[in-house]
Structure 1
């Protein structure tokens, strides 16, 4: 069954249960204002207070650096989005990523389990960081909770609006920057763990031997010709010994040209299509992963199954790092209601009168929303130009 059906069924069950047991659940913090479903609790406020009180001075100085990093990242990610306008018809800069779902035009497929865990870490560290900095700045937290906007899940830390308004500009900026900086920090930690496993453990325990076909896109040129699980040994005469040689061989493919692939089960050929993200590049429609064989000494000591867990950990930390970096940077775009929009507004408010600040932020926000919307539409295969 298509993964989208699991999401649809899951969200349908949540809404049905919420509506049927509405009166009972209201007493447990549930709020329903269709299409918004919210669950609030006050239980974790003490935990956030304890973390904030460990060293308020450290949190403030750490987030002072975080504000600087946030504005640098804001400039870079905004420049990248503007620059993407020149190639938006060939390579859209923004893509939908839904764990377990093959999104048309998106170069990224996130496995369901890894994606759900990765998104959970994004939400948890992001919202808790906002809460920790809010309490460090003596801003009350009303509640903590989960939300569902129609079918879009999320989480929140609800700060006291009066306390927030009374706070200094630098205090507000620390709170706004906290979420994305926490995501970027988690990205660094997860990336370090992933790199350490890939660099120091896997090479000693396994031998790299070709590329294995992990997934074949339905309707792609290779569909019904190649099979999942085949080991690719050569492409158009280019020997495939690992990931780098596979990438080099794939980069030489041209649309409309014959592709000759030798695998461990035989030789196959088909005509390359056009890459959905770049029409000038050949496309097979297969997703490959490095193929490894376990070292005999390792197998003799730990067996033939247990050592493979290292690859699962590499994949897990890879998606945790990727999702935290992607969401953290995206959230720093200078557009409201993102944290980057609030940061940008507070920065402008230092020098410009309020009647100038809000129109500027609103104009930039709508312009960025337009670019993102066009990029998503183009990525889904709707040619507007």
Structure 2
């Protein structure tokens, strides 16, 4: 009997071993199939779509067919991928981290389809976009490979996937020890700046919400996108901000992201070590398509620490971003003054007069390329770009455009005058001098450009033949400048600094070609993202540093933790309500 039992046990052990070996082989086979699938899809994508695209372009097929091709390719790629994922669904069900690998592969396939699509060529996307899409696809491919190879290093926390490393931990430790005497007093500055940033971002949030509702129609005419958007590559294009924000290439995003995030997370780590709190790991975080970084400290030690050290650690990251933003703003200023030169003077209004519409004898719509309303008043001609109901007040008075040479010539408001009768114009003073050197009745050639948005850095030049009028004995063109309304929103905080570097009424040209604009926009995004992170991260929301910062502050002031929790919950829901309110207004306006 004992021998039979031993045989039974041995048989069971063999079956278990065989089962484990079979399971391991299946997993290895799945992994091999994964890479086979990846290679086949990539190769087939490039060869088939590349050759097909070449053929379509040679034949001059229509854009409708081009779009159909692009969409069909994406659909087929996703269907094929879905069936493959269905084959390995047990592996995904067992470890949801695997899904992130396939998401990255899908994105990479989409990039290949976009690059190879005839639509890509017909839209004449420049070399920068082509290079950028290639980098994005390569980045997704590399991440998919790393994720698949280093799956054990991935850790799922809620909806996020963390890739944990030990990268930079020695630097953090060494820096905190070597500069401890300097860093300790800086903690007080960091906490004060943290409170300032929290107050500033709350004030801006409330103020911008009020302005958004008040000026919604005007805002909607400029941008079609939502008031809140994810800051991802190509986000300004996707969300309808392409006229007011520079292009956010993937390359630009990665550069700005690393410059903003690395100091942020290292600062958390440095001040954690300064206060004897252990750093367990560093790494990258992925929340769907959103890329992030982290420094993981020992939470138990963090909770046991006194409130002030906790506050300094929490605010250290935003403080670092603020410093980085200021430094790169100076770099951007130095680069701009050295690589750009004034090349024209912008105007934002024609000559204006005030009239009483009740005494107007004739009103009619005219085009002239400007779509104006023509008004006859006291035998004089005036124009308005608005309907009469919009321009008149309760007394019938209205501000209207004079019948000026610039208006009659069809020079649109917002244009920049680059030449006046052969004289290069770079400032308002130069234009005024050029006009003064002529006599009323003179015919002059005026060269203008009109930018369609911040990205239109090389607008087309247009020539106008204009006969100058007379006013008070001098030659008169009939244009002017109304100072920008910087009293509303964040403009009143930004414009005084911006105008010292880049005059909003001057048209600039890069002295080093398009590369100058590319570098300028990269620097612009570094500054913007750094400052945005420093402000946004201090919002008292649960998932942000500002949430815990606010909670500890209320707890410290009241001496009761329960009050801190209540205040923290209230402010969190208050902020969420404001954001939802703005989004709901956009949705209603959109439809």
- TM-score (normalised: structure 1): 0.70
Change (3 A) 1:249 1:109: closer
Which residue is 2:416 aligned to?
A: 240
Displacement of 1:357 in angstroms is 1.2
Contact 2:345-2:427 at 8 Å conserved across structures: no
Cα distance in 1 for partners of 2:533, 2:427 equals: 28
Which residue is 1:336 aligned to?
A: 542
Aligned: 1:172 with 2:310:
yes
Contact 1:52-1:135 at 8 Å conserved across structures: yes
Which residue is 2:45 aligned to?
A: none
Which residue is 1:155 aligned to?
A: 293
User: Bigger radius of gyration, 1 or 2?
Assistant: 2
Which residue is 2:551 aligned to?
A: 345
Which residue is 2:509 aligned to?
A: 292
Which residue is 1:181 aligned to?
A: 319
Aligned: 1:362 with 2:569:
yes
Per-residue CA deviation, residues 23-75 of structure 1 (Å, 9 max, x unaligned), is x5245x23356843221112421111111122113112223112111111211
Aligned: 1:77 with 2:77:
no
Which residue is 2:150 aligned to?
A: 25
SS in 2 for 1:351: helix
Contact 2:415-2:449 at 8 Å conserved across structures: no
In structure 1, which of residues 113, 138, 144 is the aligned counterpart of residue 282 of structure 2?
A: 144
In structure 1, which of residues 297, 313, 328 is the aligned counterpart of residue 519 of structure 2?
A: 313
Cα distance in 1 for partners of 2:413, 2:155 equals: 62
Which residue is 2:335 aligned to?
A: 197
Per-residue CA deviation, residues 282-320 of structure 1 (Å, 9 max, x unaligned), is xxxxxxx955264xxxxxxxxxxx676554433222211
SS in 2 for 1:144: strand
**Gapped runs of 5+ residues in structure 1?**
212-232, 252-261, 268-288, 295-305
Aligned: 1:56 with 2:180:
yes
- TM-score (normalised: structure 2): 0.47
Which residue is 2:496 aligned to?
A: none
SS in 2 for 1:333: coil
Cα distance in 1 for partners of 2:336, 2:188 equals: 34
Question: Mean alpha-carbon deviation: is it higher for 52-61 or for 96-105?
Answer: 96-105
SS in 1 for 2:557: coil
SS in 2 for 1:31: strand
Change (3 A) 1:374 1:117: farther
Displacement of 1:181 in angstroms is 0.5
Aligned: 1:65 with 2:189:
yes
Contact 1:100-1:109 at 8 Å conserved across structures: no
Contact 1:38-1:146 at 8 Å conserved across structures: yes
In structure 1, which of residues 259, 264, 272 is the aligned counterpart of residue 461 of structure 2?
A: 264
Cα distance in 2 for partners of 1:240, 1:111 equals: 26
Which residue is 1:119 aligned to?
A: 257
Contact 1:207-1:293 at 8 Å conserved across structures: no
Change (3 A) 1:241 1:364: same
Cα distance in 1 for partners of 2:288, 2:510 equals: 46
**The structure with more helix, counted as a fraction of residues:** 2
**Gapped runs of 5+ residues in structure 2?**
1-69, 72-106, 112-132, 220-225, 347-408, 419-425, 429-447, 454-458, 465-505
Contact 1:63-1:177 at 8 Å conserved across structures: no
Which residue is 2:245 aligned to?
A: 108
Instruction: Trace 1:3-22 onto structure 2 (pairs within 5 A).
Output: 5-6=110-111, 13=141, 17=145, 21=148
SS in 2 for 1:146: strand
Contact 1:38-1:148 at 8 Å conserved across structures: yes
